[in-house]
Amino acid sequence: MRIILNEAKGSAMDFYLQRLQEALTAATRGMTVEDLTRHPERKWNTAEVLEHLYLTYTGTAKDFERCLKAGRPIATAPTLKQRLATTLVVKLGHMPSGRKAPNNTRPQGVPAEKVMTDIGPRIAAMDDLIRRCEERYGRRTKLLDHPILGPLTGRQWRKFHWVHGRHHVKQILRLRQLQSG
C-alpha cells in the first residue's frame, strides 16, 4: 500500500506541498493495512493520523473554493495572538504539540486504503485551488483565515500544511518504531 502522488493540474506542485507528499510517502512506505491500523491504547493509529491530515486538506480546499466563489479574499484582520501564532508556526516552522484537533478534522473511520489512495490527489487539488486564488487576488494577499492562525497568504497556507504534516510524519515514524521495537 502506498500514498498516491499527483501533480497539480497544469503546473508543478508547490515546493512545500511536494515535500509534504514525499515525507508522507516515505513515512508510510511498505506499511500494510494491519500496520496502518495498529496503535497504542488511547492514541491515533497511522491511518487515523493520515485521515486527520486528509480532512485538513479537504477543509482547506473547500475554503479556497469559497474564496473563489466569493470573488474576493475572505480573510479578516489578524489579532495579536494570531500574528504570534503565525510567526511560531509559519515563520519559525514549529508546531506546538498537545493541542486537540478541531472536531471537523478528527478521524471518522475512513478505511485506510481510501485515505492512502486519496491523500496525494487531495494535496494536489488543494495546491491548485491555492494557486488559482493567488493568480486571481495576488500572491501577497491574505486569502482566508486559518481557525487558529488567522489570515494567511497562499504561501503561508502551504507552509502551514508542511509544518503540520511534518509534525504528524514524526508521529507516524514513532508509531512505526513502536511496532518494530
Burial class (CB in 10 A: 0-12, 13-18, 19+), 42: exposed
In the chain, how long is the greatest CA-to-CA distance? 53
Instruction: Tell me the C-alpha distance between 137 and 133, whole Å.
Output: 6
Full-model pTM: 0.92
Least confident piece of the model among 32-46, 83-97, 126-140, 143-157: 32-46
Say what the pLDDT of residue 8 is. Answer: 44
The class of domain 15-180 in CATH terms is: mainly alpha
pLDDT digit string, tens, across residues 100-121 = 889 999 999 999 999 999 999 9
Residue with the three cell numbers 487539488: 125
Domain boundaries, the chain: 15-180
